[in-house]
Chains A and B, each alone.
Chain A
Amino acid sequence: MSNSTYLCLRAVFLVCFIHPLIQGLSADANVVQSPRHRLEPNLTGLPIVTFEWHHVQTPYLVIIWVFVAALAKLSVIELNHHVTSVIPESGMLIIVGFILGGMVWGADKAQTFKLLPATFFFYLLPQIILDASYFMPNKLFFSNLGAILIYAIFGTCWNAAAVGLSLWGCYEAGVMGNLDIGLLQFLLFGSLIAAVDPVAVIAVFEEVHVNEVLFILVFGESLLNDGVTVVLYNVFDAFVALGGPRIDATEIFKGIFSFVVVAFGGSFLGVAFAILLSLLTRCTKHIQIIEAGFVFVVGYLAYLTADMLSLSAILSITFCGVCCQKYVNANMDEKSVTTVRHAMKVLANGSETMIFLFLGITAVDTEIWVWNTGFILLTLLFMIVYRIIGVFLFTWLLNKFRLVPIEVIDQVVMSYGGLRGAVAYGLAAMLDKDKIPEKNLMISTTLIVVYFTVIIQGITMKPLVQWLKVKRAAHSDLKLVEKLNNRAFDHILAAVEDICGRIGDNWWTRGWNRFEEKYICRILMKPKARKNKDYLFNVFHKLNLEDAMNYVSEGERQGSLAFIRSDEAANIDFKKQYGSEFADVMPDIMVDMSNYEFGIENVSVTSIVKDTIPSISRNIHGQDRKNAVDDINAHHVLQQHLYRSRKHHRHKYSRSHFGINQSEDEVQEIFQRTMRSRLESFKSAKTGVNPAKKITKHHKKELTHQIPNGHPEGKDHLYGDEVDSAVGSETGAVNSTFMRDTYTSGAGIENPAFMPDMDSPIHSPPWLMETEMDMAVAPSQRAQRRLPWTPNRLRRLAPMRISTCSTDSFLMADVSLTLEEHEEQPQGDNEDIRPVFE
């Protein structure tokens, strides 16, 4: 039995490596490998250009087909709306495939291109499964996992057995004429035709928008039962290889056992890879540019490893995706999350298109078509009938235990949604012609079944759903109040269950959540990400981002957003209209977006916002300060320690960094300079000697006054360290903390307008000078009101001038004022630092 799985695997590998990707291209493999020797030996002169078709043939054909598939998809989508609203995209692609296949056949008189099982299982299927599982709505999935497993395991077994046995019975009764098929072959066929196909299901159900529970039931089942079918297929394949007489009770028992091992082994392997992936993304802080790739690589590794160990590859990659999503999304930089999301969709959509197209193309081939009316029609009939029986039977069982029973209408849609797809075809094509003489009949029947379910059932699905008035997915806007109350309801239910003293669903969820929070998150999540992952807050944040987006577009519609900076009236309006929450948004931009529900559209919003922020907002209008002193502190500190960052505009061409950020050196520099100045002032305080650097008189005074009075150096060091860490993290990184105060961190910006001021013994407020100089930065109202910049105040504040870069609260929002200046700097400003203390 295991021998045959090995054989089967080996066959797969053989097909994979020895066969080229597309049939009929096996020639010239050596040419591809040795490009240097491809020049003709009898060369008479140096050719300027040569035509090297054979050199590029294989990759060229592959990419041409990818291109054609993309064009097909494009044309299908852009087609007349009346057509597309009736026929689902998948069906249309198959039909386009027919046409293309006809063209190829017309040219070659044979089908040179067809979907090979190896291509399908190794290059087309994994990303679809990974995509489906990675964006699985986890809560929904796990809360319905019991039902899904029942359908996936028992439903599939039931289907396989019932279809196989019934076909065998009909064959014995003589309905199909003379065929060379035994009971085992029928069961094998039943197992490959049993599974609902995730690719087809997603393609059709995505367009129908049924309610989420129904969707997750059908979809989850289709995803998991693929694993089950493959296992069943392998077991029966082994049985067929073994031959009827040699199968005894032990072999059957071993078959069942192997079923369990393969299915659960695959799942556990997937979980293991999910853990590996989560751990990996924990430490990719410094190579954010490639962390997105890990998701794909590790996912694919999970798939291949499971296949190598003859465990269920599909289950492995499914559980890898389902389990890792939360941690990976939390750990990775927001940009990488977006990248993964988009790349995954591109890959999955691409291969889905390829699959359906090639399912169509494959059909145009005289070789594979064997017609047996009895066999084909009976298969169709049994498949549909047993699906319906199975669904109703298992739902009836499940409804005894479900809080919310599955309604009859939903059951009808579930049974009708049993679409078969490429997995069945792939398995059929993998059959061994020697062991199963009627392989071609099975392939053609499978193809008929696939076409029937995808095209006919796909077309009728929408009218059926409308006619039955199936509950649709409610498209509601995200509302904080709903999410808040959902949270409250969860707690209430949990409490009531506790009071009733029963161990129910809520008990398990809660127990798991607690366990996860306590241990799993600690291991798999970055500490920073862990801090920020509260779902409610993320919802809140997301809503604010939307508001911010609206605000920006509104501002742009009115002309310019400059009014934010200059126009007082606008400022006031702004505050009124959006309340404090908008002011909140800005520092929180870097929040991890992980918990957002799947769906790409959200992402663009955030990424745009992120780019827009620096130009429009500096949190001028933040909430009321805790105390007025902070305000002045900020000015003061900044004045002392302004630093001009050297912008590196390398993001256009750099391969590894997107962000415009100061280098580590710069951070070091800031740190050293801060420390040096501190040391000097400390020295001067001790000795009373004028330091070499000009520090204004007030400061000297106050330092002499203050520092000996118990401001331990230790504190300085503390802040010094913070400088490092705060600046070291990229501004856009997920891990910046939530506090609004931190947005200012580490920007390391020097405001030249403040420079002359440093040397002047009289402290005229910098903003006044600015306005006189007609600089673009207008002081905020508040700032203008608070002019008393008197020496004795400064004295009080003196010890605060510890670090420009620390994230202390006294560096409050008014840093923004100076940050504005940043905008005014000419681009590509690569000057050296201007020493501030000269």
Chain B
Amino acid sequence: MGSTSSTLLKIPNVEELVQETGFSPAHIIRLYDRFKVLDKEGRGHLCPQDFGAIKELAMNPIRDRIISAFFSPGKETVDFNTFVRILAHFRPVDKDRPKDPNSPEPINSRSNKLKFAFQLYDQDKDGKISRDELLKVLRDMLGMQVTEEQLESIADRTIQEADLDRDDAISFEEFRKSLEKVNIDHKMSIRFLR
């Protein structure tokens, strides 16, 4: 892995990144190694093809959505800092960390985790999950198991459940309300190796 400090030196704005994401330097180094593996040509940034090359990912039904979540709109590449920032969504919420009311909301907060999930549905970025958008996700996830009509009914029903203002779409607020009882911290966190 090389010496810790030398690897860290290669990463621009490390301290800021640590501060912002809550990852420890050890985490960052590990992620940096991974980043370099993914970045086969050593350009210092990743493009969608690099993600597409991860072969375990190929089986994931909503792969494309997740990959595109790494790229801000209009951009074709993602640099290391953004990469880490996106992954930081999935850090478990740390309880012992002192809560500073002045500091900005941490990336791994509940609502940020939810926002990440929400934007996977909301492909046209209008702040609402429309029926069509939901249907597409459903089609991806359920695949051949159910018929198209059943998919539609499921989509309708899902929207009915969450839709509070009866506009046949799920806004982020409605999305959050509908998942109030779900333990997002558990469901949207993974353990990062240090």
B190 touches A493 (CB 8 A): yes
Tell me if A403 and B186 are in contact (CB < 8 A): yes
Q: Which 3 A-B pairs have the closest CB atoms?
A: A534-B145, A498-B56, A495-B66
CB distance from A637 to the nearest CB of B (A): 22
CB-CB under 8 A from A739, the residues of chain B are 147
Contact between B138 and A484, CB atoms less than 8 A apart: yes
A543→B190 CA distance, assembly (Å):
31
In the complex, besides A403-B190, A498-B54, 11 extra interface pairs with C-beta distance below 8 angstroms are A403-B186, A479-B178, A491-B62, A492-B117, A495-B66, A496-B190, A499-B66, A533-B145, A579-B156, A584-B150, A584-B153
| Contact assessment for A580 and B66 in the assembled complex, using a CB-CB cutoff below 8 Å | no
Interface of A is mostly: helix
A484-B158, A486-B187 known; A500 and B179 CB under 8 Å? no
> In the complex, how many angstroms separate the beta carbon of B89 from the nearest chain A beta carbon?
8
Whether the Cβ atoms of B190 and A506 lie closer than 8 Å is yes
Partner of B141, one of A404, A491, A495, A531: A491
Pick the contact of B158: A480, A501, A534, A580 (CB < 8 A). A480
Provide the residues of chain B in CB contact with A414, threshold 8 Å: none
Residue interface bits B56-67, CB-to-A below 8 A is 1, else 0:
110111110010
Q: Are B153 and A491 in contact (CB under 8 A)?
A: no
Which chain B residues lie closer than 8 Å to A495 at the CB level? 57, 60, 62-63, 66
Please determine whether A489 and B117 come into contact, CB atoms closer than 8 angstroms. Answer: yes
B15-49 at interface with A (beta carbon < 8 Å)? 31, 34, 37-38
Q: Is the CB of A492 within 8 A of B120?
A: yes
Which A569-601 residues sit within 8 Å CB-CB of chain B?
579-581, 584
Point out the residues of chain B lying under 8 angstroms from A492, CB to CB: 62, 66, 116-117, 120, 188
Contacts of B38 in A (CB 8 A): 499, 501
User: Across the interface, which residues of A come within 8 angstroms of B154, CB to CB?
Assistant: 480, 484, 536-537, 540
Contacts A499-B57, A501-B34, A537-B150 given; indicate if A493 touches B90 (C-beta within 8 A). yes
Q: List which A503-553 residues lie within 8 A (CB) of chain B.
A: 504-507, 510, 514, 531, 533-534, 536-537, 540, 543-544
CA distance A473 to B189 in the complex (A): 21
Residues of the A chain whose Cβ atoms lie less than 8 Å from the Cβ of B179: 481-482, 485
Q: How far is the CB of A471 from chain B (nearest CB, A)?
A: 10
Please indicate the chain A residues that have their CB under 8 angstroms from the CB of B190 in the complex: 403, 493, 496-497, 500, 504-506
Task: Report, as a range, how many residues of chain A touch the other chain.
Answer: 35 or more
Q: CB-CB < 8 A to A497: which residues of B?
A: 190
In the complex, the answer to whether B181 meets A537 with C-beta atoms within 8 Å is: no
Query: Which of these, B62, B142, B153, B156, contacts A534 with CB under 8 Å?
Result: B142
Q: A488-B141, A537-B142 are in contact. Are A496 and B120 (CB under 8 A)?
A: no
Question: CA separation between A108 and B114, bound complex, in Å?
Answer: 70
Interface CB pairs A-B, < 8 A, 27 = A480-B158, A481-B162, A481-B178, A482-B179, A482-B182, A484-B141, A485-B182, A488-B62, A488-B121, A492-B117, A495-B57, A495-B63, A497-B190, A498-B54, A499-B34, A499-B54, A500-B34, A500-B190, A501-B34, A501-B54, A505-B191, A510-B59, A531-B145, A537-B154, A540-B153, A580-B153, A740-B149
User: Complex formed: what's the CA distance from A610 to B13 in Å?
Assistant: 64
Query: How many whole Å from B153's CB to the nearest CB in chain A?
Result: 5
Interface residues in B146-174 by Cβ distance below 8 A to A read: 146-147, 149-150, 152-154, 156-158, 160-162
Cα distance A537–B186 in the bound complex, in angstroms: 24
CB-based contact A496/B87 at 8 Å:
yes
Is A623 among interface residues, defined by CB-CB distance under 8 A?
A: yes
Residues in A whose Cβ lies below 8 Å from that of B71 = none
B62 to chain A: closest residue by CB: A491
A144 CB to closest chain B CB, in angstroms? Answer: 12
Encode A729-748 as 1/0 by CB contact (under 8 A) with B.
Answer: 00000000011100000000
Given A481-B178, A581-B157, verify A738-B57 contact (CB < 8 Å): no
Contact present for A481 and B31 (CB under 8 Å): no
Decide if the interface of chain B is mainly helix, strand, loop or mixed.
helix
**Interface membership of A433, Cβ < 8 A:** no
Any A CB within 8 A of the CB of B92: yes
**Interface flag for A474 (CB, 8 Å):** yes
Task: Indicate if the CB atoms of B181 and A474 lie closer than 8 Å.
Answer: yes
A→B interface (CB under 8 Å): 403-404, 474, 476, 479-482, 484-489, 491-502, 504-507, 510, 514, 531, 533-534, 536-537, 540, 543-544, 579-581, 584, 623, 738-740
Which residues from chain A contact B63 at a C-beta distance below 8 Å?
Answer: 495
Once the chains bind, are A534 and B146 in contact (CB under 8 Å)? yes
- Say yes or no: A623 contacts B149, CB within 8 Å: yes
CB-CB under 8 A from B59, the residues of chain A are: 510, 514
Given the complex, which residues of A lie within 8 Å of B192, measured CB to CB? 500, 502
Nearest-Cβ distance from residue B95 to partner chain A, whole angstroms: 9
Chain B 96-125 residues near chain A, CB threshold 8 A: 116-117, 120-121
Chain B residues near A499: list those with CB within 8 A: 34, 38, 51, 54, 57, 66, 87
Chain B's interface size range is: 35 or more
Whether B193 sits at the interface, judged by CB under 8 Å, is: yes
Q: How far is the CA of A740 from the CA of B153 in the complex (A)?
A: 12
Kindly state whether residue B137 has any CB partner on chain A within 8 Å.
yes
Q: Nearest CB to that of A404 among chain B residues?
A: B186
A820 to B150: give the CA distance in the assembly, Å: 25
- Contact, CB under 8 Å: B87 / A488: no
What residues of chain A lie closer than 8 Å to B158, measured between beta carbons?
Answer: 480-481, 484
List chain B residues, Cβ under 8 A from A506.
190
Output the nearest chain A residue to B69 by Cβ-Cβ distance. Answer: A492
> Complex formed: what's the CA distance from A623 to B156 in Å?
13
Q: Which residues of B contact A504 (CB under 8 A)?
A: 190-191
Q: In the complex, what residues of A have CB within 8 A of residue B51's CB?
A: 499
Minimum CB–CB distance from B140 to chain A (whole Å) comes to: 9
Decide if B160 touches A491 in the complex (CB within 8 Å).
no
Closest A residue to B192 by beta carbon equals A500
For the complex formed, measure the closest distance between the CB of B24 and the CB atoms of chain A, giving whole angstroms.
Answer: 15
B161 surroundings in chain A (CB, below 8 A): 479-481
Question: For residue A486, which residues in chain B have a CB less than 8 angstroms away from its CB?
Answer: 182, 187
Q: Please indicate the chain B residues that have their CB under 8 angstroms from the CB of A740 in the complex.
A: 149
Q: Report if A502-B156 is in contact (Cβ < 8 Å); known contacts: A481-B178, A495-B60, A584-B150.
A: no
* B117→A485 contact, CB < 8 A: yes
The residue in A480, A481, A496, A505 that gathers the most chain B C-beta atoms within 10 A of its C-beta is A481
In Å, the complex CA distance between A307 and B194 comes to 46
Which of chain A's residues has its CB closest to B58's CB? A498
Measured in the bound complex, the distance between the Cα atoms of B147 and A584 in whole Å is 12
Q: In the complex, what's the smallest C-beta–C-beta distance from A482 to chain B, in angstroms? A: 5
- Complex CA distance for A569 and B184, rounded to whole angstroms: 44
Specify which chain B residues have a CB less than 8 angstroms from the CB of A484 in the assembled complex: 138, 141, 154, 158
Instruction: Please tell me which one of the listed residues A494, A534, A584 contacts residue B60 in the complex, with CB atoms under 8 A apart.
Output: A494
Q: A595 to B91, alpha carbons, bound, how many Å? A: 31
**Max chain A Cβ within 10 angstroms of own Cβ: one of B54, B150, B152, B188:** B150
A77 to B157, CA, bound (A): 40
B116 to chain A: closest residue by CB: A492
CA distance A264 to B126 in the complex (A): 55
Given A403-B186, A499-B51, A581 and B60 touching (CB < 8 A)? no
Closest to A485 in B: B179
Q: Report which of B60, B137, B157 forms a contact with A498, defined as CB distance below 8 A.
A: B60
B150 proximity list for chain A (CB < 8 A):
537, 540, 584, 738
Query: Are A581 and B54 touching (Cβ within 8 A)?
Result: no
**Cβ-defined partner of B189 (8 Å) among A403, A494, A584:** A403
Chain B residue contacts of A498, Cβ below 8 A: 54, 56-57, 60
Compute how far the CA of A584 lies from the CA of B148 in the bound complex, rounded to whole angstroms. Answer: 12
Chain A residues lying within 8 Å of B121, measured Cβ to Cβ, are 488
Residues of the A chain whose Cβ atoms lie less than 8 Å from the Cβ of B57: 495, 498-499
Q: Are B61 and A491 in contact (CB under 8 A)?
A: yes
Known: A486-B187, A500-B34, A504-B191. A480 touches B157 (CB 8 A): yes
B31–A500 CB distance below 8 A: yes
CA of A493 to CA of B186 in the docked complex: distance in angstroms? 11
Q: How far is the CA of A486 from the CA of B120 in the complex (A)?
A: 14
What CA separation (Å) do A404 and B190 show in the bound complex? 10
A496-B146 in contact (CB<8A): no
Cα separation A479 to B154 with both chains bound (whole Å): 11
